[in-house]
């Protein structure tokens, strides 16, 4: 084995416990793997799905050290390993978010939700479900205010208000923030980091789902534009976005990508994970 390969083995280390199985009744009830948003079979990537009825994200154990020094901002990490992070903004939505959580659950995909404080106060049970199912919750301000366009006092109230709503809902303090509308500047990023310990999370892949181009377009953009280490942006308040997710997620899984939360992605970059039990899965990816 070449030396570089050996060292890479130790670099990207994952403790993979391959998924053993959920109960068969679960699968029958909840498996929407081959359906589009209307419950119909078909779609851009359905060929793959039909041949691989068990497209599931492997179970990863990637510890996230809360004391880990993080960079000011991330839109991707540098890695050759096939990890990506799916992120959803602006929820929780009382109908769309639970549907999305069902879609993620049958695929064992852990995502990151940048939630708005007002919605968090209204639907705290959905925040608790996110956490219980292994997802990460991040700050998206109380009222979806553009942080670089308001006073520091107003920005502080927006950030703290959302943080308190999340803590009230699930007891976990967020450590990442996505600026509403992507409106941010370096001064605000530094302030968020120094005052609250937040990293600002941007994105590398933007399917522009909020412009409602259609579910097929959203799915195709996500699958065709994503590379290893990238953070993908979407919004869980739009029905067509949810409808695009089975095709988008199955498309990425069938290309060999594996889903982790944003904080896990950051940990992978920091090489915090140190044991590989299933390296073949990894290296198969590079040649595929």
Q: What is the DSSP string of 60-96?
A: EE----TT----SEESB---SS-EEEEEEES---TTH
Nearer to Zn ion, 210 or 285 (CB): 210
Cβ-Cβ contacts under 8 Å for 246 (sequence gap 6 or more): 32, 33, 34, 35, 36, 37, 43, 49, 103
Of 89 and 230, the one with the shorter C-beta distance to Zn ion is 89
In the bound state with Zn ion, the residue whose beta carbon lies nearer, of 89 and 163, is: 89
CB 124 within 8 A of CB 169: yes
For the CB of residue 144, give the shortest distance to Zn ion in the complex, in Å: 6
Give, in degrees to the nearest 5, the angle at Cα 54 between 50 and 60. 140
**Residue choice 14, 35, 90, 92 for contact with Zn ion (CB under 5 A):** 90
89 is catalytic: yes
Least Cβ distance, residue 189 to Zn ion (angstroms): 17
Q: Which stretch binds Zn ion (CB under 5 A): 6-14, 44-52, 89-97, 266-274?
A: 89-97
H helices of the chain, in order, are 3-11, 24-30, 46-51, 96-106, 117-122, 124-132, 152-170, 186-196, 215-225, 239-254, 262-269, 279-287
Q: Are 107 and 55 in contact (CB under 8 A)?
A: yes
The least CB distance from residue 87 to Zn ion, in Å, is 10
Q: Smallest distance, Å, CB 116 to Zn ion?
A: 7
Rounded to an integer, what distance in angstroms lies between the CA atom of residue 64 and that of residue 103?
A: 25
Using CB under 5 A, which of the segments 8-16, 87-95, 148-156, 263-271 binds Zn ion?
A: 87-95
> Whose Cβ is closer to Zn ion: residue 116's or residue 276's?
116
For residues 82 and 91, which CB has a smaller minimum distance to Zn ion in the complex? 91
Residues 156-195 that bind Zn ion (CB under 5 A): 180
Query: Which tokens belong to 255?
Result: 């290309």
Name the residue whose CB lies closest to Zn ion.
89
Residues 92 and 113 sit within 8 Å (Cβ to Cβ): yes
12-41 positions binding Zn ion, by CB under 5 A: none
Question: In this chain, which of 60, 76, 89, 127 binds Zn ion, going by CB under 5 A?
Answer: 89
Among 36, 235, 236, 250, the one annotated catalytic: 235
Least distance in Å: CB of 160 to Zn ion? 18
Angular region, 33: left φ>0, alpha ψ -120 to 50, beta rest: alpha
The footprint of Zn ion (CB under 5 A) covers: 89-90, 180
For the annotated catalytic residues, the residue numbers are 89, 235
């Amino acid at each position: 084995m070449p030396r570089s390969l050996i060292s890479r083995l130790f670099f990207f280390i994952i403790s993979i416990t391959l998924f053993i199985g959920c109960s068969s009744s679960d699968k029958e009830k909840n498996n929407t793997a081959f359906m589009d948003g209307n419950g119909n079979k078909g779609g851009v990537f359905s060929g793959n799905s039909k041949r691989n009825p068990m497209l599931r994200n492997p179970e990863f154990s990637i510890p996230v050290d809360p004391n880990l020094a993080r960079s000011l901002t991330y839109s991707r990490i540098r890695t050759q390993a096939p990890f990506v992070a799916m992120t959803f903004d602006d929820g929780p939505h009382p109908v769309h978010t639970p549907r999305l959580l069902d879609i993620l659950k049958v695929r064992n995909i852990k995502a990151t939700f940048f939630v708005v404080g007002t919605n968090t106060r209204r639907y705290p049970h959905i925040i608790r479900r996110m956490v219980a199912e292994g997802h990460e919750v991040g700050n998206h301000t109380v009222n979806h205010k553009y942080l670089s366009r308001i006073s520091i006092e107003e920005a502080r109230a927006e950030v703290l208000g959302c943080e308190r709503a999340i803590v009230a809902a699930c007891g976990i303090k967020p450590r990442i923030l996505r600026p509403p509308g992507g409106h941010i500047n370096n001064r605000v990023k530094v302030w968020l980091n120094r005052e609250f310990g937040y990293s600002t999370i941007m994105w590398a892949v933007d399917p522009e789902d909020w412009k409602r181009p259609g579910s097929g377009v959203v799915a195709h953009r996500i699958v065709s534009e994503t590379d290893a280490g990238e953070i993908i942006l979407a919004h869980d308040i739009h029905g067509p976005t949810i409808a695009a997710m089975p095709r988008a997620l199955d498309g990425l899984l069938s290309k060999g990508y594996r889903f982790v939360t944003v904080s896990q992605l950051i940990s992978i970059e920091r090489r915090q994970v140190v044991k590989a039990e299933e390296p073949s899965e990894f290296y198969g990816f590079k040649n595929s």
